[in-house]
Structures are given as C-alpha cells and as structure tokens.
Amino acid sequence: MPVGKAIPEVQNDEVRRLASLLEVSKCLTDTIHLRKSLRFALELLGEDDSVDEVFILLDTEDAGRELLTQYPEEPPTLMSRARSLGKIADRVIESGKPVIVPKASLEPMLGGRSRVPAKERSLILVPLILAGKTFGILAMELHYDGERHYERALHFVQVVASLVAQAVRVNQLAEAEKRSLVAENLHLREELKQRYDFSNIIGNSNAMREVYERITQVARADTTVLIRGESGTGKELIAHAIHYNSHRAEKPFVRVSCAALPETLIEAELFGHEKGAFTGAQFQKQGRFELASGGTLFLDEIGELQPSLQVKLLRVLQEREFERVGGTQTVRADVRLIAATNKPLEDAMNEGAFREDLYYRLNVFTVFVPPLRERQSDALLLADHFLEKFSGKHGRNIRRISTPAIDMLSSYHWPGNVRELENTIERAVLVCDGHVIHGHHLPPTLQTAEASDTLTTVDLAQAVAAYEKDLLLDALKSTRGNRAKAARILHTTERIIGYKVSKYGIECSRFR
C-alpha cells in the first residue's frame, strides 16, 4: 500500500496512494461521528503491512494533550504515546512542520537509545493545522526500510493530515452550529415562557389566576377584549399583558382615554384630521387608529365615550375602516381593540347613554379584574413588590414591613384597590426613617382594623399603643424572643418589657 516500497514500482504506488486517499476522504465526510470516522481512516492507513501504528494526538489550550484515536486499537495510553514521541511531538506542535525519523534508534530526541532494538522503526509526524494553528499531530510508526522513499511517504501522510484537519474543522463548525441551535432553542423557550409569564403583574390568588387564564385564552386571537373592574385594579396592566402576549407585540400599543378630552378633540384624536379640517388644523395628522396600525388600540374608560363617537367607533369595529376628520379618503384600520371600563355599562345602556349595538360589539370577550379586597393574599405580595420598587426609586434601604403593619395592610378593605396600596407604600417609604415600615408610617385610615370609608378619627391612646406594640414585636423578633436583649434595644428594663408583653398578650415563645 501507499507508504511501502516506492522504487521501482512508482506507478503502481501512485495509483494505490490515490485509491487510499479517496477511501480516507470518503470516511472523513461523515463528520457527525468524528471519532469513528477518524478511526476508520487510520485503519485504512494501518492496512499497509509496513505500518505498525498510526494515531492522532490533539493539543489544545483548554483540553491539553489528548489521544484522539489510534490504530491498532489496543491501549497504549496517552502517557506512553507522549513518552514514545518525546520531544519530537513538542517540536512538531511548536514549529507546525513535519518531522521524519528514518531510524528511531538514532534519534536523540527519542531518548537516544544506546542499544539498537531488535526491530528498527521509523516515524513520520505531521502537524494538524487549522486556520494557521497547529492543534495536533498525525503520527505514523513504520518498520524501518532502507529503500523507502521517505519524502514521498511524508507527502502522502500530509495529504491525509489535511483531510483530517478539515474533517475536524467541519465537525467543529457543526458542533458550534449545534450549540447555537441549542442556545436559540433555549432562548425561544425562555421567550415563550416570558410571553405567558405575566411577571410584571403581581398576585397568585385564585382570582388572579383566573385572570391569567383568560388573558392566555384571548391574547393570541385577534378578538376585541373588554376589561372590567373597579378603579385601580390594574386594567391597564392587563391590557398591556394582552398586547405583549399577542402576535402584535412588536407593533405599537396605543392608549386613548375616552374621558380626558372633549368630544370634538377626541374624534380628531382617534381618527386623525386632514389639513384645514378645522381652525388650527394646519397639517394632516394621523389619528390613534392609524398610529396603532398593526398593533393594539386601547380605549380606556370606554363608558365615557360620547354617543356621536360611539356610532363612529361602531362603524370602525364593523367595517374596519374610517375617514380622517375633514377627509373623504377611506383609511383601513388594522388594529386590535381592547377597551376598559370601571363603570357598569349595562346601567349606562339602560339609561340610554351607551349604545346597545356597541355594547354587544365590545362585549365579545370580557376579563373581570377582581377588586383587591377579594384577594387579600395578593395585598401582601403587592406591598412587598411596591416596597422594593419605591425603596429603589427613592434610594432607601428599607428591608421589610413590620408584623403589625402587615396586619393593618391585610385587614384594610382597599376601596382604591392596587393604586391605593401603591400610593400607601410609596408614602410609607418616604416617611420611613429606618429599615422597617411600621404601622405609624401608614395613613390614618389604616390605623384601626375597622377602618372604613367614612372619615376616620384617630384615637391617640390607641395609636400610641399600636406603635408601642409594634416596636416591642420588632425588638422581640430581632432578639428571638429574648426579653433582656429586647429591653436593651429599647433602652428600658426587662421588667417593663415583661409588663408590656403581658399587656399586649404577646407570646415570646413564638419568636424562638
């Protein structure tokens, strides 16, 4: 075969070399199982009677030296391979040049053996090079043959080495591509998770879970959605969530408050106007419907929409087109509509203030946002959320809310819903002078558990007692119920602590 005697059978040898190369290159096209195909390639080379061993050593920065594959397969280890090559391997790696050792016994770099071995061997070492960098060695050990044409043999091994290097390269690329596909896949899954993970909406009460369920059901459809709920329950947040979980997410989310502007302005605001449509209309202007093109239009406080505009809106909902104010050209409306109201539209309808046909057009899919008093467990989650938000915003280092303050937050009935809770916590953060929000940082309306809609008057003695209990609980908590230590924190005596503890019915053991 290829590296055997070259003279005088030059012609024959060339043919065999080429045939051999062809076989090797065929093997190496399977880069999915790189190790396996390299081993086949070495096996082909090893079929030559004069070849004792062939192997591939890798030398990489991260993995160090590694025996990638060898023929025959039985086990010389990396150590013995490295030892048998000695410094020659280093030289090939460092120089990136091949080395031929016709008589191993005479080579000083192989340990300069003093005794001629029974079987003289020859070595051919060729660097494996990728992008100008040597990353390994293809090594071949042969019987010594004084008539061998070593240069020609080297040339052959070099061609094989370049095929091997290419195969490794292709394999690396395939691996990199695989890794990037895996990464992309992970990224997409993460994105998907985020889409249905309404992480900016706080609350895991059953009532809120139903809301998430509803959002998930409707987000991907292009259905008109009506969001209902008391003031401050988070309707706008839900409208956002629907938009950002829909396939219109990349397109604009445009909000119009139907209450904020007078009737005439609202029309121009919604549908835009042509130049000169009315005094002051110096330019053509796009309305919110056009601005939201491809995205979502959020009509907030839809219950406040004037009857004349209700008709126009109805037309857009039915025909998906409209004209700008003062214009005749018809504009197509590619928008998804989400409307919100905190008013009972049914009452308005009965009074004739809200059109029945529009009501039915809007009332296709409704999301009811429950008031905060019906999900007290969320109040605490929200309080923590807002505490973190406003501590950060106002640069305060407030770590927690005291137990009595928590009790106050959870027994209050929150007529203003989440918005009221949000304002309450922001105010508490601003007036808090330490690391803990206490009961007295909360507004007077929360000071008694019975706090009601009516204007509350504060009983001084009660408020002071609440504060005192609050301080006591905090001190006992931080000393794990140790009264003597708690007394030191509060600059008082253990006897007084004992007295107050029984006065307020505090169980010290619960702090241990």
Ligand X SMILES: Nc1ncnc2c1ncn2[C@@H]1O[C@H](COP(=O)(O)OP(=O)(O)OP(=O)(O)O)[C@@H](O)[C@H]1O
CA 387 to chain centre: 25
CA–CA distance, 100 with 389 (Å, rounded to integer): 71
Query: Letter for the amino acid at 103?
Result: K
Among 136, 203, 303, 404, binds ligand X (CB under 6 A): 203
- Does 232 bind ligand X (CB under 6 A)? Our answer is yes
Classify 159 as helix, strand or coil: helix
Closest distance to ligand X from the beta carbon of 205 (Å): 10
Q: Residue ranges of the alpha helices (H) in 146-302?
A: 150-195, 206-219, 235-244, 263-271, 288-291
Site for Mg ion in 191-220 (CB under 5 A): none
Residue with Cβ nearer ligand X (143 or 419): 419
By the 8 A CB rule, do 142 and 51 touch? yes
Q: Are 39 and 33 in contact (CB under 8 A)?
A: no
Kindly tell me which of 231 and 403 has the beta carbon lying closer to ligand X.
Answer: 231
Under rule CB under 5 A, residue 304 binds Mg ion: no
CB nearer to ligand X: give 237 or 364: 237
Within 10 angstroms of residue 293's Cβ, the number of other Cβ atoms is 17
Residue 234 binds ligand X (CB under 6 A): yes
Distance of closest approach, residue 377 Cβ to ligand X, in angstroms: 12
Helix (H) or strand (E) holding 477: helix 460-478
Q: How far is the CB of 421 from ligand X (least distance, A)?
A: 8
334 binds Mg ion (CB under 5 A): no
Q: In what order do the strands lie in the sheet with 64-71?
A: 64-71, 51-60, 133-143, 121-130, 99-101
46 near ligand X, judged by CB under 6 A: no
Closest CB to ligand X among residues 58, 237:
237
Distance (Å, whole) CA 159 – CA 507: 86
Site for ligand X in 396-455 (CB under 6 A): 418-419, 422
Binding partner of 168, given ligand X, Mg ion, none, CB within 5-8 angstroms per partner class: none
Interaction partner, residue 231 (ligand X, Mg ion, none; CB < 5-8 Å by kind): ligand X
| Residue 229 DSSP code | -
**Per-residue x/- track, 462-481, ligand X (CB under 6 A):** --------------------
Closer to ligand X at the Cβ: 233 or 424?
233
Sequence-distant (6+) residues with CB within 8 A of 496 are 487
- Looking up tokens 């706090």 gives 451
Q: In angstroms, what is the minimal distance from the CB of 422 to ligand X? A: 5
Residue 28, Cβ neighbours under 10 Å: how many?
22
The interface partner of residue 3, options being ligand X, Mg ion, none and the CB cut-off 5 to 8 Å by kind, is none
419 binds, options Mg ion, ligand X, none, Cβ within 5 to 8 A by partner type: ligand X
Is 370 a residue that touches ligand X (CB under 6 A)?
Answer: no
Residue of 90, 236, 334, 494 interacting with Mg ion (CB under 5 A): 236
Q: Rank residues 161 and 215 by Cβ distance to ligand X and give the closer one.
A: 215
In the complex with Mg ion, which residue's Cβ is closer, 145 or 236? 236
ω into 72 cis (within 30 of 0): yes
- Scored b (16 or more CB within 10 A) or e, 90-126 reads ebbbeeeebbebbebbebeebeeeeeeeeebbbbbbb
Residues in binding contact with ligand X, number by CB under 6 A? 16
Give contact residues for Mg ion (rule: CB under 5 A): 236
Give contact residues for ligand X (rule: CB under 6 A): 201-203, 229, 231-237, 342, 382, 418-419, 422
